Structure 1
């Protein structure tokens, strides 16, 4: 089990926060709902927050009940259950239907991880280094940013594109997964891309991010993001995004 799990989350605007953190004694899950673009028909009567809540609940039930199922299978089953909860009211073939990124860590002597989409998991290793687990496929779409809505629509949950948790359970099989010896790490940070801006945009090392996270807490990491966004602005996209940081401290 983790020795301690702490987290903070902050919305990026007046809109409801579409990030979600759920955790148990031995596991952490962070979801980041994909905000729907204005004017896009999702084919779904539910909003992104509904999808995030349903998927988070399904994941929590599975992780709490059985620690032996591989994380990719846990996610696939949770997506299946969430899809069934639409109860035929939505067009789940629509590529713009609600979706979310997923980052999971489970500690059972070994540290298992799963990343689907641009929410990274970063391990604080015993020697002081950071080991980053990320899914960079969204950053590798053709043409470079800013992406058009049509490009994202065409490449979402498609071979050669990028994968997220939405209506297609098989997306879970495209997750970045693996494990790490629990004795090799002091803790783990789990983040949405609203916090990953510190490393991706503003030049922080992941070692620096983890040091603030461990010493001052998740709220301080989010505060640092907001200060830089205010001073330097975004590299692209939203000025502020929903931002979530979790610190899972391992037993010494």
Structure 2
């Protein structure tokens, strides 16, 4: 069960979600800043959907390879598809966070790269898997901007400094890692697994959906799982949109893949 909603009306959702019988993939596309069209003519939505499609194909055809190896190949395939027309090394070219869940031989394997979230539902407390590196690096600049007047000279100085630092730190040691043009980034992904028998379900969320917990504090993860079980992913996204409107926070693309009955896959 999946739900996806673009951040703004009339704008394409730059997330991707898809599944094959024993795996689910969520891609949270990013980039598309001013001037990006001259760098990559395809855009963020194309990158996210192309990367997601390549991953689903690989997951369907070759279940014996590690998730990191499959992600590396998918990144390379997408890079090959547009390196002849686009400047992939430019920091403005599209990139993405990636979350994968695969069920195989009685195990549930997961991969996380970037700021998406995987939640494994199990008796007792759920296991929440996230990649904090990008958020940790950006937090000092977000906090500083929150204390400044938008549009002021100091606000613009801090904003530009933050952008420069994040660009320089992307896919670099000591920085943070995402899917972009370099397949070696896949080796930096957070991976793990557990017996399928320990799970009652699993959830993949883009950071626009996970903000119900990590930004707005409207629920904890057990409460999110309860809402998903009773009302489905659309109910979570609806609550996020209401919070964005109340707090005048810019809406972000929000996507959720809710995987149930995993023990019988």
What's the TM-score, normalizing by structure 2? Answer: 0.87
Matched, 1:44 2:40: yes
The structure that has the greater radius of gyration is: 2
Compare 15-24 and 37-46 and name the one that shifted more.
Answer: 37-46
Give the aligned partner of residue 111 of structure 1.
Answer: 108
Report the alpha carbon displacement of residue 91 of structure 1 after superposing the two structures with TM.
2.0
**Deviations, residues 176-222 of structure 1 (Å, cap 9, x unaligned):** 00101211111001000011101111222111111111221011111
Q: Which one of the candidate residues 226, 232, 235 is aligned to 1:220?
A: 235
Between Structure 1 and Structure 2, which shows a larger proportion of helix residues? 2
Q: Which one of the candidate residues 82, 99, 116 is aligned to 2:95?
A: 99
Cα pair distance change 1:76/1:214, threshold 3 Å: same
Structure 1 segments, 4+ long, off by >6 Å, are none
Unmatched segments (≥5 aa) in structure 2: 143-158
Query: Equivalent residues in 2 for 1:158-197 (5 A)?
Result: 158-197=172-211
Q: Which one of the candidate residues 240, 245, 248 is aligned to 2:259?
A: 248
Aligned-residue RMSD, C-alpha:
1.6
- The alignment covers a number of residue pairs equal to 242
What's the TM-score, normalizing by structure 1? Answer: 0.91
Give the aligned partner of residue 73 of structure 1.
Answer: 69
**Deviations, residues 51-97 of structure 1 (Å, cap 9, x unaligned):** 11221121111011121110000000001111111142222222222
Give the aligned partner of residue 134 of structure 1.
Answer: 130
- Kept in 1, the 8 Å contact 2:114–2:176? The answer is yes
- Kept in 2, the 8 Å contact 1:42–1:96? The answer is no
- Kept in 1, the 8 Å contact 2:196–2:263? The answer is no
- Kept in 1, the 8 Å contact 2:138–2:166? The answer is no
Cα pair distance change 1:86/1:71, threshold 3 Å: same
Cα pair distance change 1:38/1:224, threshold 3 Å: same
